[in-house]
Structure 1
C-alpha cells in the first residue's frame, strides 16, 4: 500500500465513510466497512482518527465543503446582486439534485448525534458550520459587490442556513423541483431586498 500524507489519507477515509454511510446508514457503518471501502487496514484508520466522533466530524465538514465549493465558484459578480445570489443558490441546488443521498445523510447524522450520548456536540457543530459557511460567503460577496445589508450578517447567515436546510429536507421528501425553484427565487429576492437592491416580494 502506497504511503500517503496523513491529511490525504484522512480525506480518503472520510470520502469512503460518506459513501458507506449514504449506502448503509450511519448506525450500520463500522470502521471495518469504511476501511474496506477505502482499501486500507484498520491500523491506518486508527492512525488517522482516534474515535468515531472524529470521523463523523470530518464527514460533516467534508459534505458541507462539497456543495460550498460549487457555490463559491458560482458566486462571481454578475450584472445584479440578485443574479449573483440566484446563481449561488442554483449551484447548491444542482448539488442537492445530483447527490440526494449525501444530503439525506446530513439529516441522519444530525439525528444520530442527538440520539447518542456524547455525540450531541456534533449536531451543534454541524449547524454552526452551516451558519459559519453562509457568513463567509456573504462577507466575500459583500467585499466584491459593495452592498450594505439591512440586517447583521450573522442574522442573514442563520436565516439562509435555516431556509436551505428546510427546503432541502422538503425536496428529499416530496421531490418537487418546480416548487423548489420558486422558493429559491423568492429567497433570492428577499436577500436582494435586504441589500437594498429591490423591494421584497409578497409571498402568495
Structure 2
C-alpha cells in the first residue's frame, strides 16, 4: 500500500472526525475515537493535528467545501441570472435535506466554540469562512455572467451567509414539514437576491426606456 502524504492523512482524519461528531456530538468525540474511526493509531492523529482547535477548523472548512462544491456545479451560467441563482439555492437546499446531520454539526461546532474558553475564535473563523466563500461565488459568477451588484460584494456575501444560515436551521427544525413549501421559499429568496444583484434584462429595459424618453 502506498504511503499517504500528510495532506491525505489530514483529510482522512477530518472526514472521520465529521462522521464521529455527527454521530456522537462534538463534546463526546475524542481524539482516540476519531483515530479509531479513521482506522489509524493515535500517534498518527497527533502527528497530523497538534491541537483540537486545528482539527475543528479543518472540520469546519471540510463541511463548507462539501456543499460549496455542489453549489458551484449548480450555478453554471444559465439562460438568466434568476435561473442561475435559483439553481444554486436548490442545490444547497437539496444538500441540507440529504445531509442534515452534517449541517446540524455546524451549529454544534459554533456553540461549542463559543462556550469553550480559548475556542471562541473558531466560531468567528467559521462565519468569516462563510462570508469569504460567498464572496468567491459572487466573484466567480460575475466573471461568467454580465450583471452589476447593487450592494457591495462583502455586504451581499454576509447577507447570503446569514440568510442560508437561517434557512438551514429552519429545515433542520421542521424536517419534512419544511419540504412542501421549499419551492415557494426558494423562489422568494431568489427574487430578492436577484433584485440586489440585478440582471441583464432588467438593465437593458432601463436603458431602452431611458433612450426613448
With the shorter chain as reference, the TM-score category is over 0.9
Would the aligned equivalents of 1:167 and 1:180 in 2 still touch at CA under 8 Å?
A: no
Offset of 1:195 from its aligned partner? Answer: 2.3
Q: Residue deviations 1:147-200, cap 9 Å, x none?
A: 0011001111011100000010011001211233322211111121122235xx
Larger radius of gyration: 2
* 1:187 and 2:201 aligned: no
Give the equivalent residue in structure 2 for 1:59: 59
What is the match of residue 173 of structure 2? 173
List gaps (5 residues or longer) in structure 1. 199-204
What TM-score does the superposition give when structure 2 sets the normalisation length?
Answer: 0.90
Aligned residues: 199
Q: Which residue of 1 aligns with 2:101?
A: 101
Alignment partners' CA distance in 2, 1:137 and 1:10: 26
TM-superposed deviation, 1:90: 1.0
- Structure 2's unaligned 5+ residue stretches are 203-213
Matched, 1:153 2:153: yes
Distance 1:57 1:16 in 2: 14
Greater than 4 Å deviation, 4+ residue runs: none
Residue deviations 1:62-110 (CA, integer Å, cap 9, x gap): 0000000001111110000000011111111111011000000000000
Q: Is 2:38 aligned against 1:38?
A: yes
SS at match of 1:178: coil
The corresponding residue for 1:23 is: 23
- Relative to the length of structure 1, the TM-score reads 0.94
